[in-house]
Amino acid sequence: MPLINVIKGDPIPVAPLNVRTPFVKIPLWAAILWQTLKTVAWLVKAYVQHWYATLPVTGLVWLYLAYGWQALALLLGGITTAVTCWFHVNRASWLRFGWWPALARFRRLVYRRRWMAAMVTANLSISYDKRTIIPQIRRVRCKAGGCDEVLVRMVTGQIPDDFAKASERLAQTFGVRQVKAIPGPTYGAVVLVLMRGDTLQETVEPFPIPFAPDFTALPIGVQEDGGLYRLRLFGTQVLIVGATGSGKGSAIWSIVRSLAGGVASGLVELWGLDPKGGMELGIGRALFAKFASRDFAEMAAMLEHAAATAQGRAARLAGKTRQHTPTEDEPLIVLVIDELANLTAYLTERQLKDRIKAALGIVLTQGRAVGVHVVAAIQDPRKEVLPARGLFPTRIGLRLSEPSEVDLVLGDNMRDRGALCDRIPQTQPGIGFVVLEGDPTPMRVRLTYCDDTTVRDMADDYGVAA
Ligand SMILES: Nc1ncnc2c1ncn2[C@@H]1O[C@H](COP(=O)(O)OP(=O)(O)OP(=O)(O)O)[C@@H](O)[C@H]1O
Ligand SMILES: [Mg+2]
């Protein structure tokens, strides 16, 4: 059996061989009959293939012929009224069952028209046995926020990462902002998510402060797909990486805000370390039970205190539980560190630096199960600057200056899979990428923006420190 029959995918028709056809004399009527039959067959095929357009048109023509234009006007008026009522009464079902399926049909036509060229030029076609085979569009779905999902059956031998690597080319070809490639629901399938609109254009206002924070889902921003971005703090340590002015401060304050209810009730203790002299965390000083902004020895002592607390809790909880539950006596401790590099790399005093390194290592490795967490911000993710990068399981990648930094922050292949942190414009601070649990592709998010007044008000209302 020729292999071409086993390889899945759409073969592109090959150009006909250039041979001279034999000269056969046939009567004119036979030629006309043959042409007519061919045309009729083509028309029938097109009629059946595009039934969703041809059937309604046939119905309307029949109505006009049978009952005149009044009936036609009555029907069209009735349909328009019904659709308008549906739109106003139940927008969600109108979108889900009416508008999006109709839009998906139209988009499918658009994608199909450019599909062959797109696949060949993005190197997603496979040549075999003098034939060219391209992936096949299986289904198109439109979703909220100007997002289309195209289910594609890959050619045998392809993997979703092949599409991820070509995503930028595909985005340019289809004229959309970004394309993401996600492994499909079955083997051999990939879902291309084509995003045309940008739901994250506007600054996100701070959320209301929850009275009792849910440490497994702290709301700190919005996701590109319209959902809330909820950060899991239990069992993890959080690193925020971003170039200067990328919104690291707003990421810190979004997290602090989501915990403020716990600070007031005594379930959470925030320890602030702000080596930039208190520039960032100083305005919310009252929220922090401990605070150091100038003296590096004090910061080292604070980290050592946190390390000792983590070790003490671990020794006590060993064999009893695997996750510490915060109480007023034993609160969740969150060390909030702005510009962590000042403590790890740029510190000149060797002894102090070693103390900080050792204490930070203990907190990062032993603290996460016993309620001692770190939320740290840094500009440069390289190992020389932050040797302990690998000890932060959760990372938020804001705007970065180099493409190579993206994979350092978010993990291997994440830039190929769509985390274009280096392309975030300077005019959009607070936008970043995160990797969500159970999702192999990165999610674009925008963190809430707490301005100085909001932070001051929050510190006044929820702060505990004098
Ligand atoms: N989430 C956000 N939404 C909108 N604007 C924001 C957001 N976060 C920050 N900004 C704007 O960007 C500016 C810089 O933000 P921020 O100070 O948080 O950045 P940074 O990364 O901490 O910078 P630096 O490295 O200089 O400390 C802010 O003054 C604010 O105007
Ligand atoms: Mg800052």
Determine the atom of ligand 1 nearest the C-alpha atom of 279: 27
Are 375 and 240 spatial neighbours (Cβ–Cβ below 8 Å)?
yes
Going by C-alpha positions, the residue among 293, 275, 280 that lies closest to residue 245 is 280
- Same domain? 281 vs 240: yes
- Same domain? 231 vs 286: yes
Does 285 reside within a domain? yes
Q: Considering only 246-260, 285-299, 315-329, which range has the smallest mean pLDDT?
A: 315-329
306 lines ligand 1 (CB under 6 A): no
DSSP for residue 176: -
Does 326 reside within a domain? yes
Q: For residue range 15-26, what is the model confidence (pLDDT) as tens digits?
A: 666 777 778 888
Nearest protein CA to atom 24 of ligand 1, as residue = 244
248 lines ligand 1 (CB under 6 A): yes
Does 13 reside within a domain? no
Going by C-alpha positions, the residue among 387, 331, 380 that lies closest to residue 361 is 387
Q: For residue range 62-115, what is the model confidence (pLDDT) as tens digits?
A: 999 999 899 989 999 999 999 999 999 998 899 888 899 999 999 999 999 999
Work out the pLDDT band at 1, boundaries 50, 70, 90: very low
- Which residues have a beta carbon within 5 Å of ligand 2, which is an ion? 248-249, 280
> What is the Å distance from ligand 1's center to 65 Cα?
66
> What is the Å distance from ligand 2's center to 215 Cα?
24
Are 334 and 269 spatial neighbours (Cβ–Cβ below 8 Å)?
yes
Alpha-carbon gap, residue 95 to 226, rounded angstroms: 15
The CATH number of whichever domain residue 152 belongs to comes to: 3.30.980.40
Alpha-carbon gap, residue 330 to 309, rounded angstroms: 10
The pLDDT value given to residue 375: 96
- Same domain? 275 vs 378: yes
Q: What is the mean pLDDT of the chain?
A: 90
- Same domain? 344 vs 438: yes
Are 331 and 267 spatial neighbours (Cβ–Cβ below 8 Å)?
yes
The pLDDT value given to residue 205: 94
Does 1 reside within a domain? no
The pLDDT value given to residue 4: 52
- Domain boundary, last residue among 89, 112, 146: 89
Beta strands 238-241 and 372-378 are: parallel
Nearest protein CA to atom 17 of ligand 1, as residue = 249
- Same domain? 85 vs 117: no
User: CA-CA distances (angstroms) from residue 445 to 58, 72, 225, 245, 398?
Assistant: 47, 49, 9, 17, 9
- Same domain? 184 vs 327: no
Going by C-alpha positions, the residue among 130, 109, 127, 129 that lies closest to residue 119 is 127
- Phi/psi for 107 (5° steps) reads -65, -35
Does 286 reside within a domain? yes
The pLDDT value given to residue 2: 54
Does 30 reside within a domain? no
- Same domain? 75 vs 127: no
The pLDDT value given to residue 445: 95
The CATH number of whichever domain residue 441 belongs to comes to: 3.40.50.300
Mean pLDDT of 367-383: 92
Tell me the best of 204, 250, 452 to mutate to test the pocket of ligand 1, counting ligand atoms within 8 Å of each CB and taking the most.
250
344 lines ligand 1 (CB under 6 A): no
> What is the Å distance from ligand 2's center to 394 Cα?
19
Give the domain extent around 76.
56-89
- Same domain? 265 vs 351: yes
Does 60 reside within a domain? yes
- Same domain? 265 vs 180: no
* pLDDT above 90 for 324: no
- Domain boundary, last residue among 164, 195, 226: 195
Q: For residue range 190-203, what is the model confidence (pLDDT) as tens digits?
A: 999 998 888 888 99
- Same domain? 363 vs 451: yes
Alpha-carbon gap, residue 236 to 367, rounded angstroms: 9
Total domain count for the chain? 3
Give the CA-trace dihedral at 174, 175, 178, 180, to 10 degrees. -10
- Same domain? 314 vs 242: yes
Q: Which ligand is nearest to the CA of 200?
A: 1
- Domain boundary, last residue among 180, 195, 210: 195
Q: For residue range 155-179, what is the model confidence (pLDDT) as tens digits?
A: 999 999 899 989 889 999 999 988 9
The pLDDT value given to residue 45: 95
Alpha-carbon gap, residue 363 to 412, rounded angstroms: 25
Mean pLDDT of 246-274: 94
Going by C-alpha positions, the residue among 129, 130, 192 that lies closest to residue 158 is 192
Mean pLDDT of 296-311: 93
Helix axes 296-317, 350-366, angle to 10 degrees: 30
Does 51 reside within a domain? no
Give the CA-trace dihedral at 376, 377, 381, 386, to 10 degrees. -40
- Same domain? 394 vs 284: yes
> What is the Å distance from ligand 2's center to 245 Cα?
7
Q: Using DSSP, state whether 147 is helix, strand or coil.
A: strand
Determine the atom of ligand 1 nearest the C-alpha atom of 446: 1
